[in-house]
């Protein structure tokens, strides 16, 4: 037997929040997610700090450092976009 129903995006968002909260509580994922976020964002922060320090110390290397800055910004944007894309795929799979 097959059932069909429609679900709105608002209902899906509410369900996603409830399910996420429940799974987080059951699996004690808050600490795991905290560590994962640290592992992802701390190196980017360190790279930014090193970039600023080198930019101040060696102003004659501005062009080369701007290339590094572009790569740093691109990697940060791609990291955020990949997280959003993963969420989009998850939602579209649930809605289908």
- Structural tokens at position 88: 């989009």
In this predicted model, what pLDDT tens digit does every residue of 17-34 receive, in sequence order? 887 777 667 666 666 667
For residue 76, count CB atoms less than 10 angstroms from its CB and return exposed for 0-12, middle for 13-18, buried for 19 or more.
middle
Q: Give the mean pLDDT per block of 10 residues along the chain (96 residues).
A: 79 82 68 71 84 87 84 82 74 63
With 0.75 as the threshold, say if the pTM is over it.
no
List all residues 6 or more positions away from 12 whose beta carbon is below 8 Å from its beta carbon: 91, 94, 95
List all residues 6 or more positions away from 87 whose beta carbon is below 8 Å from its beta carbon: none
């Amino acid at each position: 037997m097959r059932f069909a129903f429609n679900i709105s995006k608002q209902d899906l968002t509410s369900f996603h929040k409830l399910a996420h909260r429940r799974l987080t509580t059951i699996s004690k994922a808050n600490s795991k997610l905290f560590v994962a976020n640290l592992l992802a964002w701390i190196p980017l922060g360190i790279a930014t700090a090193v970039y600023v320090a080198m930019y101040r110390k060696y102003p004659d290397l501005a062009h080369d450092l701007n290339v590094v800055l572009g790569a740093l910004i691109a990697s940060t944007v791609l990291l955020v976009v990949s997280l959003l894309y993963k969420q989009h795929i998850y939602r579209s799979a649930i809605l289908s």
